[in-house]
């Protein structure tokens, strides 16, 4: 059975991805910061398939925990076929209202934690001669989004690093792809580390906050497109660098995506799977 290690499984995409993989015959290490608060569906699955599904602690920003979870996966299942870097955080706020420590916290979770997990998984995958890494980014990786500079920059960096790594590792049988979702209804906005707007940024913050709130209110609850994108990225014989999910679901996105069309020769288009 192929073995998958997934981060950020306490809610949202990570929860449904880990369940979907287990249902499709993967052995799964579903990781989260607080395994004691694992979602009931995942807990039930881990109890039912105790030999194949493990819930394990992982804060992706903690080096010792990253090493421990790789060791646990190898001890338990002997290999790692699929690493899914899904854990992520966001924060709304103008650049001047977002202090350095918040920028660094977002990059630790969204970029450096995933990169260091990849650093630990790659030698295992190279030795196996097969492996796949899927990094969950966002349309914010390519859309230039005000009030989300740190989040968008962290996802952009992960997207770019993934594309470079995919070229470096493919001769070893290891491929790297990104799943790039549009907006979906998850806990992400509720956990957003938003900053209060300072006076100079009050007007632009209010204007964009209203647009974001409206977009989030209309975001789809059905996370199936994300599951399907992950499964395609995990199983396509020659995977694309980007798999979009739900980018057409929100009325505001198609015109924005359309406006990126002139950049297609640079590979920065979203309408296809590349
Ligand atoms: N929902 C969307 O509209 C959307 C769109 C594009 C991209 N994304 C991306 O999709 C991914 C999953 O987000 P989601 O929408 O499913 O939101 P979510 O429900 O809030 O899930 C985020 C997950 O990341 C975990 N996490 C946060 N910091 C962590 C850390 N330091 N170590 C380990 N886990 C950590 C959270 O765990 P805790 O419970 O411990 O906080 C939670 O399980 C994120 O990378 C996000 O940027 C989401």
Cα(239) to ligand 1 centroid in Å equals 24
Vertex 152 angle, CA 146 and 153, to 5°:
115
> Considering only CA atoms, which residue is closest to atom 42 of ligand 1?
8
Segment 41-59 mean pLDDT: 98
Per residue in 209-265, pLDDT tens? 887 888 788 889 999 999 999 999 999 999 999 999 987 755 656 565 555 545 544
Residues tagged active-site: 151
> Considering only CA atoms, which residue is closest to atom 19 of ligand 1?
12
Ligand 1 binding pocket (C-beta < 6 A) is 7-8, 10-14, 32-34, 58-61, 86-89, 109, 136, 138, 181, 183-184, 186-188, 191, 219
Q: pTM for the full model?
A: 0.93
Least Cα distance to 141 among 179, 169, 171 occurs for: 179
Cα(12) to ligand 1 centroid in Å equals 7
> Considering only CA atoms, which residue is closest to atom 39 of ligand 1?
10
* Domains annotated on the chain, with CATH: 3-266 (3.40.50.720)
Distances (CA, A) of 261 to 154, 189, 251, 264, 271: 23, 29, 17, 5, 9
* Sign of the alpha-carbon torsion through 87, 90, 95, 99: negative
H/E stretch holding 231: helix 224-235
pLDDT above 50 for 273: no
Per residue in 134-192, pLDDT tens? 999 998 888 777 889 999 999 999 999 999 999 999 999 999 999 999 999 998 888 88
């Amino acid at each position: 059975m192929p073995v998958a290690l997934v981060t950020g499984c306490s809610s949202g995409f990570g929860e449904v991805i880990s369940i979907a993989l287990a249902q499709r015959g993967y052995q799964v290490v579903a990781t989260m910061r607080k395994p004691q608060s694992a979602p009931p569906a995942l807990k039930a699955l881990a109890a039912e398939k105790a030999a194949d599904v493990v819930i394990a602690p992982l804060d992706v920003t903690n080096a010792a925990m990253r090493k421990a979870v790789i060791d646990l996966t190898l001890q338990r299942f002997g290999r790692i076929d699929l690493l899914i870097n899904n854990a992520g955080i966001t924060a709304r706020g103008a650049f001047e209202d977002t202090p350095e420590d918040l920028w660094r916290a977002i990059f630790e979770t969204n970029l450096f934690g995933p990169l260091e997990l990849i650093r630990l998984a790659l030698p295992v995958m190279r030795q196996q001669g097969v492996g796949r890494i899927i990094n969950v980014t966002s349309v914010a990786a390519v859309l230039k989004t005000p009030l989300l500079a740190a989040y968008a920059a962290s996802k952009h960096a992960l997207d770019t690093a993934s594309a470079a790594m995919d070229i470096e590792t493919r001769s070893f049988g290891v491929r790297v792809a990104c799943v790039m979702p549009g907006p979906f209804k998850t806990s992400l906005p509720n956990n957003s580390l938003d900053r209060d707007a300072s006076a100079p940024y009050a007007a632009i913050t209010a204007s964009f906050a209203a647009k974001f709130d409206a977009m989030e209110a209309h975001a789809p609850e059905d996370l199936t497109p994300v599951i399907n994108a992950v499964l395609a990225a995990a199983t396509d014989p020659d995977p694309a660098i980007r798999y979009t999910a739900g980018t057409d679901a929100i009325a505001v996105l198609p015109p924005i995506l359309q406006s990126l069309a002139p950049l297609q020769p640079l590979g920065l288009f979203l309408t296809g799977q590349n």
